[in-house]
Each structure stands twice: as C-alpha cells, then as structure tokens.
Amino acid sequence: MKAPHEAGESRKTRQRRERWIKLIGIAPCLLLIAAPIGLMALIISTQSFWLIYLIGLALCAVFFRIFAGTTEQRREARARRAARKAEYRKWRDHRFFPVSTRARAAYLILCLEEVLKAAGQEPLRWEWALSRLWEVTEVTYVESWASPAWDYPTVPEEERAAMRDLFLSLDPKLEQLVTELLEDMDTVILEGPVDDDSPNAPWTLECIDKAEELLTEQGIPLPHDQKALDVLMGQRDKFMGKPFDGAALSSILRALPRATLIYLEPGMLLTKKPYRDWREIRAEFQDDYIASLNPMTCRELIGNFADDFGEDAAWPFSKDEIIRFFDGPDETMKNYP
C-alpha cells in the first residue's frame, strides 16, 4: 500500500509557509508606521506642506490595494467564503460534525476491526498494527504519529515489512477494503482542521460516510458497541481534540489472550491462568512467590522483554517461544534453572 505521505508533507509545507507569511507581514506593518512619521518630520522640517496632499493620495491607493485588493481578488475571496459556508451547511447536521478529529479516526479503526472480524482474521496477527493505529488517540502531538501503513521514514522498517506481509496474506477483495479504510483514516488525520479558519473540518466527514457505505455493501455490520460509540460522541472539539484511551474501545485488543509473568524462587513462570490480583498469586505459590507483573498480551510481553533484557538471546523465554505459547493450548510455561 502506498501511503499518502505526500499529503502530510504538503500540509507541513503549507503550515510552514503560513508562518513565514505572518512573520514577513510584520515588516510592512512596521514600515507603514515608521514611514508616515518620517515623512511628516521631513515635511515640517522643509516647510513643504503641499507634499501632504500627494502623499495622502498615494497612501490611500496603497491601503486600498492591500486591504481591498483588485475586483477579481475580492470576487475570488467572496467565492471562497461562500463555498466554505455552503460546505458547513451541508455537513453541520452530520452526527460526527461536533466530534474531534481523533474520535473520527477512532471510529474508522472500529470499522476496520469489524472488517477483520467478518473476514475471520486471526486477532494476534493484527495486534501490533491495531495497537499502532490506536496510538493516534493517545499521542499528545498527532504530527509525531505515523500510521504503520505509511511508507514513511518515521515508521520502522520492521513494521513496514510486517505490514506488507499482512497485506500479502489477504485476498484481493479484503485487501482493497482494508486499504480504503486506512486511506480514509489517513485523510481524516492529515487533512483535518489546521487553524481557527477551518474548524470541524467538514470535508473529512465524507470519509466516514464512505467507510459506512463500504461495510454496508459487503454486508458487514457497522460498529455497534454502544459504550464505545458514546465515548467517541463525547469527544466534542472543533479541532484535533484531547487525547483519550482509544485502545480500551477496541473489541479485538480487549479479547486478546493475556498471560501473567510470575517471578518465583525456582525461576520464572508464564501463565494464562486469570488472577484477580497479586495477592491471589502469592496465596497459590506461598513462599516461592517473589513478584508478578500485570497480565500482558503477546506484543506487550515481547516489548517488555526487549526493554528489560535487550537481545533475544538474553530473554528468559525466546520471542518464538512466546508466540507459540500464545498461539498454543498450553496454560503455563516455565523457565527454571
């Protein structure tokens, strides 16, 4: 899948250009203030008061050109304002109109999850990709986030390769559907509201309608978890919106198997057995108990080992062993010296 990184770059370029325009605009303003003062001082010193008339006419012409512009420019400006108002009137009754950009992107991720469930995709295979997608709801600055589907320098090559493998495993029809949903999500994020002149970004609401039409045409149910939908509808903001825990709304991530890593006197134990808390674990293992971690998914456990132990060779359980354990029927795995 070719990612729309050009759109992201053009947006950043546009923002940079707007900042430069504002900075450059300060110089003429200062000049407009200083020039009349200097001219008045010159006129008074030379007693050439007839210059006031000529300078006044010239200044009027300059101000008219700057603030009013040509007839064609005024006509174009009115046309742009009219088009913007028409677009706002068209979309203001849409249920997602008052909702933040983050929440709109989250809804499209929920649509993607419905597609994956309808296609019978193995949740574990999509854990890392969905986790990365849901990060868009949590990061403070969305500009620092990058979709794993983007062919983008900020996306690690390992993730890009894994995403390509995922797409290669899909049949053409499902691949097209997933691709279109990801592209709609990219559009919502990259072309969302930039400043006070473009609140609510009504032009991105078409992506939501398009996604719902795609699912309906394929007989796939739309997201129907009412609690999740209520959370999204509560994210009222004209712009990107405040960060929130979107991953908690994911039916796929919530249903993933989890395992608890337990530190015992004889060694380490990894178990899928559910426990209420660490006290229940200590009661079971008694004097052998040292400590335990909160239940983790396969991806979370691998990330934890990578952070704590570094290279795979130093892990108490190898990456392949962890993956097989989560995929297999065994309830426990031990590493006793």
The pLDDT, as a whole number, for residue 308 is 86
Q: What is the pLDDT of residues 307-317, one digit of tens each?
A: 888 888 888 88
List the domain range (segments joined by +) for residue 299: 257-335
pLDDT confidence bin for 30, thresholds 50/70/90 = confident
> Between these two residues, 98 and 51, which has the higher pLDDT value?
98
Distance CA 10, CA 169 (A): 32
- Residues 112, 36, single domain; the answer is no
How many structural domains are present in the chain? Answer: 3
Q: What is the pTM of this model?
A: 0.67
Q: Is residue 92 part of a domain?
A: no
- Residues 127, 238, single domain; the answer is yes
- At 334, which helix (H) or strand (E)? strand 332-335
Q: What is the pLDDT of residues 66-77, one digit of tens each?
A: 555 556 666 776
- Residues 162, 278, single domain; the answer is no
Q: Is residue 89 part of a domain?
A: no
Q: Which amino acid is at 292?
A: S
Q: Is residue 272 part of a domain?
A: yes
Q: How far is CA 121 from CA 41, 115, 116, 260, in A?
A: 80, 9, 5, 25
- The residue from 232, 254, 276 where one domain ends is 254
Q: Can you say whether the dihedral through the CA atoms of 256, 299, 151, 190 is positive or negative?
A: positive
| Mean pLDDT, rounded, for 250-266 | 89
Distance CA 134, CA 112 (A): 12
Residue 100 contacts residue 239 (beta carbons within 8 Å) = yes
Q: Which amino acid is at 299?
A: R
Q: Per mean pLDDT, which range of 16-20, 57-61, 193-197, 261-265 is the poorest?
A: 193-197
Q: What is the pLDDT of residues 129-148, one digit of tens each?
A: 888 889 889 888 776 676 66
Q: Is residue 77 part of a domain?
A: no
Q: Is residue 186 part of a domain?
A: yes
- The residue from 46, 69, 92 where one domain ends is 69
- Residues 317, 198, single domain; the answer is no
Q: What is the pLDDT of residues 87-105, one digit of tens each?
A: 677 778 888 889 998 999 9
Q: Is residue 268 part of a domain?
A: yes
Percent of the chain surpassing pLDDT 70: 73
Q: Is residue 210 part of a domain?
A: yes
Classified as helix, coil or strand, 267 is coil
Residue 297 contacts residue 127 (beta carbons within 8 Å) = yes
Chain mean pLDDT for the chain? 79
- Which is nearest to 8 in space by CA: 107, 164, 149, 130? 149
- Residues 118, 228, single domain; the answer is yes
